[in-house]
A and B are shown apart, each in its own frame.
Chain A
């Protein structure tokens, strides 16, 4: 089930109504709703979630009960191997098999191709990382193992963020699952509903409106003018941001209506004045996960300059690969790794907080950062390396041909997206509009609903991050 579907519009009020009607059954209801939400897509893959839950429940209990470091480490390895094994088989097996086959083929020893005919389960990368965070945090003694199987199952499958994050940390979400949730105060209801509405607006009006323009340009970059390619690249920057942050907004808003508080996943990343700040404001839950469980585990910046750069680069490379089983994602991660390493080596330290409003002097840096990010998006969006290369080569087609309708849509989407970012950054709130005066707020609400009506209809377009 997707957030931008009629089914979800019926599902959410029913779940929220029952949830506050029978507070004692809240976790049972959450589990049933979460499994229904996920199983609506394909019930067969509920087995994988259940397997992860059982493994991590048992392993965490074993780790918590033991004082023997070797046994604790062995149990942790069981969890990591099982979770990464499931992820590896379903997401990466064919990729590595194909890559090995190509490598052998180039050496004249082809013919190795044991590919598996499997579907990638929706959200597998998200819930695998989330459930791994639980066992790792128990191992690190940051959290006691949870005794209730129900609570662990809810933690793993919590439907608002199950398929596309934010990737919650056990230390943040588990206490909310196990504790009592209080009925949200009116302001929380308003904020939750506003977040859901804003998320749907971003998805339906911004992301889906520019999607066909992006699709056309990437399908056949060789026959597009450089101006069209540039326009489509900006359009993709808006599309992926509006699509993914829109999902996070709906997830956070939905959780808020259930008395939960999920972490922020985006903080106006395109206003970043350098790549380091970009990664502090883009997909924050993944960046934090990679920092805490991978970068720091590798040694972080404690082993000297060379090791720091190695760790930074490896973290970004694996972060790229997390997104999908394709060399393009590896290149995307590597590019960001290079940006970060270059920045660390040559730029002056900027100690200002990540979410400070950029000043006039920051504009060149904001623009440079945005364009570096856009360049990397080419590899992220292209289906193959060849397509990405064609896209980049297409910038030499110095024609100025473009479709005026596309220009209006893309500039409109960019304008609205930046307006929202500025308003959010200025008010330090994801839904600054709820505090506007009644008339501007009513006008924005009316315009937003009109835009959602105009741009909706037809089959719901899945969120981009579902594929990861």
Chain B
């Protein structure tokens, strides 16, 4: 398309019969417009035909890209994968889930359901229902509204780290907002609007409509196109991206550290084991125990770096966090296992300071299996 193409027709050469109709500019009288109506109609037919072709090209592009994109109804793609996995296991394959692991990506990478089931006599089928970068509030919401009902486990393992219990973490609170504002979440809560339903129906017809929340973010599209296609977690929910990795401080991790340091400035008296996230944890404990399930809270292995890199006052902040957990254990009498302190963990076990790699995951899963079998 050249600049000349964009010129008003009144200023360009008229060389076709069709173009004659185009030459009617805003000053054309109504009479002339009526006389030229058939030509005008031809012009508009061409316009609409080209527009439809453009839309079809866009739709075809969306269909191709859509095969590499996550479920757009969920702003939290791992939850969509968990729901599909659990449905498949419990309904299609007729299996039961005996042990459910919940928490952030730390237990997501650290607990291997396959290893647990193989080593332990008591675990049965295990499922790792972890979320990426959640607050404790988000962990509770997903456990109470989705995972506990769908899996009905006898044993629940809740892996915790300081990040999910940080009242000050903007990233964690954004993740929770993102979760509860997704269409999928509204569907679970039964608060879908008529617009959501209309959108869902339109999405069945058009990939452009269905994938638009993802397609309009160029970074997401680029990331999805350049990363391997596949679900974010394994069939049994394990986070796989750290498997096979040797220890390194990734760019992603560095940005989390910067973010945590920035967020620290928001509240003049921040605390780890902050009151609102600790309340979420207490509420979750009450729910799980109230349902008669065995709950084990596990302090996940982490290297020292996160403490020193993520917290401006590491010693003080760590003491705050430990004091809050001690108080919780004393108040609730919960079964709490500080595997981080009890075992010596080294960099060979980790993919990054907060996530075990396959070596560490195997080690942790074996320790957990022994613990459960005792």
Contacts and interface: CB of A to CB of B under 8 A. Distances in A.
A134 to B, nearest CB: 30
Given A423-B6, A435-B22, A457-B212, A446 B219 contact: no
A450 B218 contact: no
Contacts of B37: 186
B24 interface: yes
A230 interface: no
Contact of B50 (A6, A186, A409, A438): A438
Contact of A185 (B10, B30, B57, B199): B30
A10 interface: no
Contacts of B213: 457-458
B48 interface: yes
Nearest to A428: B8
Nearest to A6: B195
Nearest to A435: B8
Given A220-B262, A429-B26, A405 B217 contact: yes
Contacts of B64: none
B9 A436 contact: yes
B55 A454 contact: no
A436 B5 contact: yes
Q: Is the interface of B mostly helix, strand, loop or mixed?
A: helix
A223 B48 CA distance: 48
A209 B213 CA distance: 11
Interface centre among A429, A436, A438, A450 (most CB of B within 10 A): A438
Interface string A445-464: 11101100111111000000
Contacts of B315: none
A360 interface: no
Contacts of B7: 436
Given A405-B218, A446-B53, A450-B58, A438 B46 contact: yes
Contacts of B19: 437
A114 interface: no
B215 A454 contact: yes
Given A187-B28, A405-B217, A446-B52, A438 B18 contact: yes
Q: Is the interface of A mostly helix, strand, loop or mixed?
A: helix
Contact of B8 (A222, A427, A447, A453): A427
Contact of A446 (B26, B30, B51, B199): B51
A293 B7 CA distance: 40
Interface in A425-445: 427, 429, 432, 435-443, 445
Contacts of B34: 186
B55 A449 contact: yes
A404 interface: yes
A442 B25 contact: no
Interface string A28-43: 0000000000000000
Contact of B47 (A220, A445, A447, A454): A445
A457 B55 CA distance: 17
B54 interface: yes
B26 A187 contact: yes
A191 interface: yes
Interface of B: 1, 5-10, 12, 18-19, 22, 24-26, 28, 30, 33-34, 37, 40, 43-44, 46-55, 57-58, 195, 199, 206, 208-209, 212-213, 215-220, 222, 262, 265-266
13 contacts: A185-B30, A186-B34, A187-B24, A191-B26, A403-B219, A408-B218, A427-B8, A432-B6, A435-B8, A439-B50, A440-B5, A442-B51, A453-B209
Given A405-B217, A432-B8, A453-B209, 11 more contacts: A405-B220, A408-B219, A435-B22, A442-B48, A443-B54, A445-B51, A446-B50, A447-B54, A453-B208, A456-B212, A457-B212
Please provide the 10 A-B residue pairs with the shortest distance between their CB atoms, ordered closest to farther.
A446-B54, A442-B50, A405-B219, A438-B46, A446-B51, A223-B262, A445-B51, A435-B8, A185-B30, A450-B58
